[in-house]
């Protein structure tokens, strides 16, 4: 009997060409589908649906996928089976059997992203794939003063990368925070919103770092919402600092 599984996964994005399947590329989707189709004893091909894509080099602490599987495997068995099949840069953190109405992409209420910036004059060898390095002076108070402008419902056209297929660019950000992790010499951003456009978080972080460095006025986001022009905001912070931290769903399963 076919059952729907909701699976929460973590991955180190360094060696993946992003989430979405692409010919000749090692992607999160292809690696998971390969494992599932080895576990599957029917002729049916298993496809997975993710809450959304992540780019090459972007990490996930808790990405969510769903798929329909034609064998009656308990949730814990599925978790263990998948973990035994998957490579070490991809881990199943949680697995539940859910109602057919659950959809990893369409049922989302919001997503939380974290962005880690490492400080210091030189790149820390242990962080080169797991943070963005930013050596310039930063006034965190300026960034903190800009964050209320990020929160709310805005047209993020100035913050969307070419290649986006989104029809409209209005999104709502519920929370935007920054904190300094002095012990690790990092600055850490978090954004929680109802959805994010292609590269939106990385473009926003690049603009916020420019505000912190004094290269952009503190309340420049208000102007950027008006001008609706990516050329006003053309930098993109590196993929290595970005983590999909949480996907929140509308109703409990």
Q: Which of 71, 109, 128, 235 binds its own copies (CB under 8 A)?
A: 128
| Binder of its own copies out of 3, 26, 89, 97 (CB under 8 A) | 89
Tell which positions 47-76 bind its own copies, by CB under 8 A.
Answer: 59
109 is an interface residue for its own copies by CB under 8 A: no
Q: Out of 130, 155, 164, 232, point to the residue binding its own copies (CB under 8 A).
A: 130
DSSP structure class, residue 44: P
Cβ contacts of 37 within 8 Å, gap of 6 or more: 45, 46
Task: Work out how close the CB of 210 gets to its own copies at its nearest, in angstroms, rounded to a whole number.
Answer: 24
Token digits of residue 73? 């495997």
Report the SS3 class of residue 215. coil
* Contact track, its own copies, 144-183, x by CB under 8 A: ----------------------------------------
Q: Nearer Cβ to its own copies, position 11 or 249?
A: 11
Any residues with CB less than 8 A from the CB of 188 and at least 6 apart, and which? 114, 115, 116, 117, 178, 179, 180, 181
Nearer CB in complex with its own copies: 89/96 = 89
Q: Does 85 bind its own copies (CB under 8 A)?
A: no
Structure tokens at 168: 């409209």
Q: At what angle do helices 140-150 and 200-213 cross, to 10 degrees?
A: 140
228 Rama sector, left if φ>0, alpha if ψ -120 to 50, beta otherwise = left
Report the interface residues with its own copies, using CB under 8 A: 10-12, 59, 83, 88-92, 121-126, 128, 130
Catalytic residues: 55
């Amino acid at each position: 009997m076919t059952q729907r599984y909701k699976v929460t996964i973590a991955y180190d994005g360094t060696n993946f060409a992003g989430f979405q399947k692409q010919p000749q590329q090692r992607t999160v989707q292809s690696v998971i589908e390969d494992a599932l189709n080895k576990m599957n004893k029917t002729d049916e091909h298993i496809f997975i649906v993710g809450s959304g894509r992540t780019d090459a080099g972007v990490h996930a602490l808790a990405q969510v996928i769903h798929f329909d599987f034609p064998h009656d495997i308990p949730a814990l068995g599925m978790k263990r089976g998948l973990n035994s099949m998957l490579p070490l840069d991809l881990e199943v953190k949680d697995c539940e059997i859910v109602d057919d109405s659950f959809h990893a992409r369409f049922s989302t209420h919001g997503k939380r992203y974290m962005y880690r910036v490492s400080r210091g004059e030189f790149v820390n060898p242990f962080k080169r794939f797991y943070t963005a390095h930013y050596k310039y002076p930063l006034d965190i108070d300026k960034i903190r003063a800009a964050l209320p402008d990020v929160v709310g419902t805005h047209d993020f056209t100035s913050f969307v990368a070419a290649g986006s297929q989104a029809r409209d660019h209005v999104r709502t950000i519920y929370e935007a925070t920054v904190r300094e992790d002095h012990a690790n010499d990092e600055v850490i951003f978090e954004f929680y919103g109802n959805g994010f456009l292609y590269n939106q978080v990385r473009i926003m972080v690049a603009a916020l770092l420019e505000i912190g460095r004094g290269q952009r006025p503190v309340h420049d986001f208000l102007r950027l919402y008006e001008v609706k022009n990516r050329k006003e905001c053309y930098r993109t912070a590196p993929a290595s600092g970005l983590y999909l931290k949480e996907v929140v769903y509308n109703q409990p399963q």
